[in-house]
Chain A
Amino acid sequence: MKNIESIVKNNLSHLIDIDASRIDIDLSIFDDYSLTSLNLVILITNICEETDVPVFNFTDADIANLRTLRDVITMFTTAAGQDA
């Protein structure tokens, strides 16, 4: 499997048309990258597809607690059983 961090960054870069190399995973996905709640849903869905992590693995609370891309990476890394 590809590195989860690069998958997450690539998906965000496609979604908001930003160079993946300029993405700072510690910035706020809402305040700094201006994701709407629907954007976040589609981001998570796309990452699930690419990582083969079942989307049902995540609860509403898991999604609601996401603030940064690091949170997203950690969530997927944990779900995929990988080390961060």
Chain B
Amino acid sequence: MEQIINQVANGRPSTAHSITIYGPGGRAVLPLADLDRLARKTAVYLKSLGVSAGDRIGIVAKNRLEWLLLDLGALKIKAVTAAFEAGKFAPTATLAERYALRIVFSDEASDAPSILPMDGLLAALEALPEDSDLSPVVYAPDDVTTIKFTSGSTGEPKGLAATVGSIDSSISATQVLFNHSSDDKLFIFLPLSLLQQRYWVYSALVFGHDVVLSTYQLAYYALPREAPTVVMGVPAFFETLRKAIAARVEGDDPAALRRAAIEAMGPRIRYLWTGSAPASPEMLRFFEDCGMAIFEGYGMNETCIVTKNAPGAHRRGSVGRPIDGKRLSIGEDGVIVVHSAFPVNTRYLFCAPGDSERIFQPDGSVRTGDLGRFDEDGFLYILGRADDVVVLTNGRNVLVRSIEERLRTCPEVENCIVVGSGEDCLSAILCAPRGEAARDAIKRHIADLNHLNGPDERIGGFLIVDEPFSIENGLLTSQYKPKRREILARFSDEMSHATRGAP
């Protein structure tokens, strides 16, 4: 395993590669050596503010250069970053107090004395001498560099302190699979508050390749201009891109679709990375048909990357094989348990009593709550969440995720959930942009599915809603997964009528 974090903290990257940053101010290119130089100055700046090893600094901001400088600067003095997703957390004195933060940096204005504006950081660095002395730091595998926050379905977000061993192990294992090297340019746009996105900057610094950092608002603009070799995304991003590419082409001529895909992402794509949520088979096939490999994987905050499809070890529909340092077992209840050579951690921070014990097992393994199976070649297939199981009144357990995937193949259906109906059949809540105008087409689709599905998988009744499921209205998680409980609660009154109108 490579000593990634120690190299990032102490190393001097080559001048051959660069980071390109897209943000509200425009596009900027910075050699990685300059990024490291500024990070060293940031470390000195943090020390001048009284930050020392073990202190926590909060970051509440969208993707930008200063975000990275604070993260890298903190690594150089063994300070711990607490990474908060902008828009979900407000930079307030309460935040600083709750999470014991010495200072909070934010791109939002605040009157609290413990909140510092990011806008002033680069100017503050300019005032510092070029060659500031920084003592080398040494990280042990159990040391912590950052705290990430799990979204959770209810209550306050829980904290999770990530160990150096887990970060080193994940990046090293990924490097074995994908061999990111001098010709590569990795494109990242998901929030840097998600630790995995920072991995690719660490990877650039250690293994020597280019990287592009964008806000998600500028991602579709930046992609064709930067011509990356790798795009680090999530299914919702690629699904939106798929529809946009398809909309540019009359008909479904494969060559025309390939040209449109290259126009959208540039001609150098080596592979597309997707994870965090299930990818639809249609989306995966679309990009493969466009000549772009797309690799689905599996992991969660508590485990980091667990399995990954990769060149030479790819099976569509699976989430790949376990990466180095991970071993999986599947319990009698079908739930996947992850054993890590270097666990992310063995408990949550800032959580309610019992939260840690529900997921972290006494032996350090993580009970994921996801149902899975392996095929004969060791590829993992995710069957759904344990709480995706609906128990019918006839006592049968039905895993509804695959049924939901089939419902979403109807062009009128943007999203859906399948739930129990209090009877011996299932019900569905379907989000359709055209609302009731789409009823006939949806009804035909469900009738076709019911004809093919087993008796326990039949949809008895359904409700069409035109309100989109979105993160903003609380019906999707931050990973774009439908929130079953919230959707059911939102439409429970209408649902009670819909089930009586079964097709």
Say whether A and B bind each other: yes
Question: Which residues does A use to contact B, with CB under 8 Å?
Answer: 14-17, 30-39, 41-42, 44-46, 48, 55-56, 59-60, 63
A45: chain B residues at CB < 8 Å are: 220-221
The residue from B26, B27, B216 contacting A41, defined by CB atoms under 8 A apart: B216
Query: Smallest distance from the beta carbon of A11 to chain B beta carbons, Å?
Result: 9
Question: Which residues does B use to contact A, with CB under 8 Å?
Answer: 24-27, 62, 215-221, 236-237, 240-241, 243-244, 247-248, 411, 414, 431, 433, 466-468, 470-472
Beta-carbon contact of A37 and B472 below 8 Å: yes
Residue of A nearest to B432 (CB): A34
Residue of A nearest to B107 (CB): A60
Beta-carbon contact of A34 and B468 below 8 Å: yes
A33: chain B residues at CB < 8 Å are: 433
Beta-carbon contact of A15 and B433 below 8 Å: no
Cβ contacts A to B, 25 pairs, < 8 Å: A15-B247, A16-B433, A17-B247, A30-B468, A30-B470, A30-B472, A31-B467, A31-B468, A34-B466, A36-B470, A37-B470, A37-B472, A38-B236, A38-B237, A39-B240, A41-B217, A41-B240, A42-B220, A42-B241, A42-B244, A45-B220, A45-B221, A56-B24, A56-B25, A56-B26
Cross-chain pair count, CB within 8 angstroms: 61
- Compute how far the CA of A52 lies from the CA of B100 in the bound complex, rounded to whole angstroms: 47
Q: Which of B236, B244, B411, B467 has the most CB of A within 10 A?
A: B244
- Compute how far the CA of A39 lies from the CA of B243 in the bound complex, rounded to whole angstroms: 9
- Compute how far the CA of A34 lies from the CA of B414 in the bound complex, rounded to whole angstroms: 9
Q: Which of B220, B241, B248, B414 has the most CB of A within 10 A?
A: B220
Query: Smallest distance from the beta carbon of B280 to chain A beta carbons, Å?
Result: 15
B467: chain A residues at CB < 8 Å are: 31
The residue from B237, B244, B470 contacting A15, defined by CB atoms under 8 A apart: B244
B25: chain A residues at CB < 8 Å are: 56
- Compute how far the CA of A6 lies from the CA of B243 in the bound complex, rounded to whole angstroms: 21
B220: chain A residues at CB < 8 Å are: 41-42, 45
Query: Smallest distance from the beta carbon of A20 to chain B beta carbons, Å?
Result: 13
Residue of B nearest to A40 (CB): B217
Query: Smallest distance from the beta carbon of A23 to chain B beta carbons, Å?
Result: 13
Beta-carbon contact of A38 and B221 below 8 Å: no
Beta-carbon contact of A60 and B62 below 8 Å: yes
Residue of A nearest to B468 (CB): A34
Residue of A nearest to B471 (CB): A37
Query: Smallest distance from the beta carbon of B284 to chain A beta carbons, Å?
Result: 18
A15: chain B residues at CB < 8 Å are: 243-244, 247
> When A and B form their complex, which 10 residue pairs have the shortest distance between CB atoms, in order from nearest?
A34-B433, A14-B247, A38-B240, A45-B220, A34-B468, A55-B221, A45-B221, A56-B26, A42-B244, A42-B220
A48: chain B residues at CB < 8 Å are: 221
- Compute how far the CA of A15 lies from the CA of B242 in the bound complex, rounded to whole angstroms: 11
- Compute how far the CA of A33 lies from the CA of B27 in the bound complex, rounded to whole angstroms: 32
- Compute how far the CA of A37 lies from the CA of B468 in the bound complex, rounded to whole angstroms: 11
A41: chain B residues at CB < 8 Å are: 216-217, 219-220, 240
The residue from A14, A30, A35, A63 contacting B217, defined by CB atoms under 8 A apart: A63
The residue from A14, A30, A36, A56 contacting B240, defined by CB atoms under 8 A apart: A36
- Compute how far the CA of A39 lies from the CA of B241 in the bound complex, rounded to whole angstroms: 9
Known: A45-B221, A59-B24. A38 touches B216 (CB 8 A): yes
Query: Smallest distance from the beta carbon of B442 to chain A beta carbons, Å?
Result: 15
Residue of A nearest to B239 (CB): A38
- Compute how far the CA of A55 lies from the CA of B25 in the bound complex, rounded to whole angstroms: 10
